[in-house]
Amino acid sequence: MNYNAEHLALGCIQFFIIVLLAPFFAGFIHKLKQRARGQKGINILQFYINFNKLLKKEVVLSKDATLISSLAPYIVFVSYLLILLMLPAFYRYSLLGVSSDVILIAYSLALATFFMTLYAMDQGSAFGGLGASREWFLTVLSEPSLIFIFISLAIYTKQGRITDIFYFIQNGAENAFLSGAHSSSVSIAIPFLLFISLFIVSISENARIPIDNPETHLELTMFHEANILEASGKHLGIYEYGSYLKLTIFLTIMSLILFPYMAVNIYQVPLALTTYFIKMIILCGLIAGVEIVNPKMRVFRAPNVLSVSFILSLIAMILSIRGF
Amino acid sequence: MDKILINKNIVELNDFLSLVNNLKETGKYLLGIVASDERKFDSKFNIKYFFGGNGIIDEYLVKVDEKFQSISKICPAAKMYEREIHDLFGLVPDGHPDLRALMLYPENWDFSVQPLKKDYDNLVPKVKEYGKYKFKEVSGEGIFEVLVGPVHAGIIEPGHFRFSLAGEPVLQLEIRHFWKHRGIEKVCEGKDFNEVMNLVIKISGDNNVNIAISYLQAVESILNIELTERAKYIRMIYAEIERIWNYVRDVAWIFMDIGFALPAQNLFSLQEELMRLNKSLTGQRFLFNSLTVGGVNFDIDSLKIKAIAETIERVEKVMKECEAFILNSSTVLDRLEFTGKINKKTAEELSLCGISARASGLPRDTRIEFPYLIYGKFDLKPVLFESGDVFARTALRIKEIYVSKKIIGDLLFNLPEGDIIVAYENKPEAYKYAVGNSETARGNAFFYVMADDKGKIFRLKYIDPSFRIWPSIQYGVLGNIIADFPLINKSLNLSYSGNDM
């Protein structure tokens, strides 16, 4: 694969569009939920305004904090940016497409979680430790599913890079569609299972109802929020933006499994971008729907749900090894 | 005038313990302990113990100089009252297991200054550290503490909760309250009865009508005022409307705390409707200033009757839907059932009242036990649940809304003609006292009011249901995980301001 100026330019555009859209998707979910409850709802651009406001505020660190506390927000944020550099959301040649190994993606996510929980404990507040242990309790349970999802995709397509994986699926689907006949090279079961499995993992990883409640003010029930309870000012802004990026990463991967359509040249970009946006809106609606009709479950019920996700990804993996 | 049967006794210190033991065995429970500085005319402090049960309030008077016998060991409910008396009067309960300061924090208050003594000069001692407060210690491998409050992440009143945890399960919870002690009891002294109404309704705003009913019951009994029938009916209507809106809000917040905002918002809009009804009735969303000594301030005309009837009809409809929704939703039931269980025995020992007692199977409802206004005419049965968990407290509230709706319906239908207020010029006898007792949405509101020789207030003591119930949370959370604490707390929905006068 030769990189040329077009790849570079479109890759950059893709990266910036996703990064800039991330708070919009989070805000959109929030707005949908509020409208469904009969509330007027926030400004859909509210999360941009919040970020801007927080950036101007000073950072207050606990007197027990070490260097980790000053670095962790940036490491977390950069990890997510790194993943977004790899994701082919609507353009096949993402900037870091060459090194977009699925294992790298999975563990960049883990790296971010690791530093976020270090930050939580470094501040020396009681909630930090509580939040960190809860965060790992969920991450440890959802990580196997995530790895299995990626590996079954890799086995299914015999590709290692996420750009190639989805391009392969896209091609297979296109060929099957163009030839008009039932093609044995396309599986419906595997993406379907993986989608559901990834959806459950997304809910857990992004602190959504029924696992966690992103809107709560109750310190004692928090998972994700308890980690950043001590964060203030710029750090808090970066963490919150980071959480929007994480949500966007998961939604984007889901959108690619749901319906992979990536532009390969500049002429396809408008259509691919529109498709991407529509897919993301649908997925936001799905997340909001789940959040509206469910209460938060008991903390120790979470493993049951995550085990469903694991089993689904396991089945998908067996199917892909057997060549469905 | 509502007659509360009071059986007055004076007891000697020596045989008091065995007497309390006997009382407990006959099913009586502690309603309150009231101390009063009567050295001016009696040369001693008076401590009055009020026990309730079987429709009669038993009063036991103990006269003390400096020390009195603690009854906490056989009647754990007395623990908080005795600590309070220790703080505010400097009297020492002999044999009390835990005599740490309750309201006057050693961190900034000189303990040698006791504000409820009559010789207190109304001066705040110099703010500096006079001592330290020692929390209970729990130690062991892997055990850690989580401190919550007094400043919380949401808009909540101040309270400090100290959890000792082994992982998620709670080993022990210690509560420290009274961060904003206002000294209402002291402020009330020397004021006249009408003036104090303004303070009484602000003790705990969301229950102000029922609290005021209790206060007025005591005051009108001191002044020998007989209310008109119509005033009684209207007081009850306001009281029951207040109960309904409180319950609707409580149930909404339980949904909120399990992260289920959709049904919560539905109930919040219902609460808003009720508060607008309040405003149309009295010009006040919280029904403040609706009652006055000798009657009520706002009459109810036929238009208002129609508005009330329509609203409570709607409330019942929405709550029926809500009840069906809870019972049919496994995810909701999973959160509510078996969470925050308060055993019947615990409820008995702590003399709980209101929702907390009835959810644990104790038939305690002031409206039925000591009927006031015209509750006696209604054939009320206490709504009881046995399980004592969050589900029981939620379901109980919903069921009681139906009861209140029925009461209001009957009252509106039979509203007698007449004045809503009686003029009075009665002066109280010197040092006459009376008690008031009413059922708020949280439980039993108990007032002790004593007049002085000029017709002003000599001693006013209010015991909020929250004051009795707060300690029970420490037992309710045992065996639960810390993440469920906010839900347990919300299911009791206690007042910080009523607790801390």
B299 and B442 assigned to the same domain? yes
Give exposure, B172-199, as e/b (b: 16+ Cβ within 10 Å): bbbebbbbebeebbbebbeeebeebbeb
B326 and B218 assigned to the same domain? yes
Question: Hey, are the CB atoms on A299 and B481 less than 8 Å from each other?
Answer: yes
Per CB-CB distance under 8 Å, the chain A contacts of B334 are: 297-298, 301
Find, among A313, A257, A244, A239, the residue nearest to A284 by Cα.
A244
pLDDT digits (tens, 9 = 90+) for B307-334: 999 999 999 999 999 999 999 999 999 9
Find, among B105, B6, B113, B98, the residue nearest to B61 by Cα.
B6
> Could you give the maximum distance between any two Cα atoms of chain A, in Å?
68
In a domain, B66, yes or no: yes
Query: Which of the four pLDDT bands, split at 50, 70 and 90, describes residue B13?
Result: low
* A and B: number of Cβ contacts within 8 A: 80
B74 and B218 assigned to the same domain? no
B65 and B189 assigned to the same domain? no
In chain B, the number of structural domains is: 2
B84 and B206 assigned to the same domain? no
Per CB-CB distance under 8 Å, the chain A contacts of B484 are: 298
A123 close contact with B: CB closer than 8 A: no
In a domain, B147, yes or no: no
pLDDT digits (tens, 9 = 90+) for B443-464: 999 999 999 888 899 999 999 9
| Amino acid B9: pLDDT | 73
A127 close contact with B: CB closer than 8 A: yes
Question: Hey, are the CB atoms on A217 and B144 less than 8 Å from each other?
Answer: no
In a domain, B178, yes or no: no
CA–CA gap between residue A247 and residue A284 (Å, rounded): 10
B277 and B379 assigned to the same domain? yes
Per CB-CB distance under 8 Å, the chain A contacts of B257 are: 218, 221
Q: Which residue of B has its CA nearest to A222?
A: B483
**Cβ B13 vs Cβ B64: under 8 Å:** yes
SS (H, E, C) B183-194: CHHHHHCCCCHH
- Matching residue, tokens 């609606």: A285
Quickly count: other Cβ atoms within 10 Å of residue B49's Cβ.
24
pLDDT digits (tens, 9 = 90+) for B427-447: 888 888 999 999 999 999 999
B82 and B214 assigned to the same domain? no
Question: Hey, are the CB atoms on B146 and A130 less than 8 Å from each other?
Answer: yes
In a domain, B175, yes or no: no
B330 close contact with A: CB closer than 8 A: no
B233 and B99 assigned to the same domain? no
In a domain, B159, yes or no: no
Q: Which of A217, A295, A299 is closest, CB to CB, to B260?
A: A295
Quickly count: other Cβ atoms within 10 Å of residue B62's Cβ.
20
In a domain, B158, yes or no: no
Average pLDDT of the residues in A110-121: 94
Question: Hey, are the CB atoms on A297 and B334 less than 8 Å from each other?
Answer: yes
Quickly count: other Cβ atoms within 10 Å of residue B269's Cβ.
15
Q: Is B60 helix (H, G, I), strand (E, B) or coil?
A: strand
B126 and B204 assigned to the same domain? no
Per CB-CB distance under 8 Å, the chain A contacts of B146 are: 126-127, 130, 220
CA–CA gap between residue A148 and residue A296 (Å, rounded): 26
pLDDT digits (tens, 9 = 90+) for A3-30: 688 899 999 999 999 999 999 999 999 9
Average pLDDT of the residues in A200-216: 89
Structure letter (DSSP) for residue B377: G
Q: Which of B132, B147, B173 is the last residue of a domain?
A: B132
**ipTM for the complex shown:** 0.87
Most B CBs within 10 A among A134, A221, A304, hence the mutation to make, goes to: A221
At B428, which CATH number? 1.10.645.10
B13 and B126 assigned to the same domain? yes
Nearest CA of chain A to the CA of B265: how many Å? Answer: 6
Q: How is residue B460 written in tokens?
A: 């006013």
Q: Is B462 helix (H, G, I), strand (E, B) or coil?
A: strand
Q: Which of A126, A296, A298 is closest, CB to CB, to B147?
A: A126
Question: Hey, are the CB atoms on A38 and B168 less than 8 Å from each other?
Answer: no
CA–CA gap between residue B121 and residue B312 (Å, rounded): 50
In a domain, B171, yes or no: no
Angle at B208 between CA B205 and CA B213, to 5 degrees: 165
In a domain, B412, yes or no: yes
Total number of residues shown for chain B: 501
Query: Which of the four pLDDT bands, split at 50, 70 and 90, describes residue B122?
Result: confident
- Identify the domain containing residue B269 by its residue range: 184-499
B279 and B213 assigned to the same domain? yes
Domain boundaries, chain A: 5-141+161-193+219-294
Q: Which phi and psi (to 5°) does residue B36 adopt?
A: -155, 140
Q: Is B170 helix (H, G, I), strand (E, B) or coil?
A: strand
Examine residue A260 and say whether the peptide bond preceding it is cis (omega within 30 degrees of 0).
no
Per CB-CB distance under 8 Å, the chain B contacts of A299 are: 168, 481, 483
The model's pTM: 0.91
Q: How far, in whole angstroms, is CA A148 from its chain's centroid?
A: 16
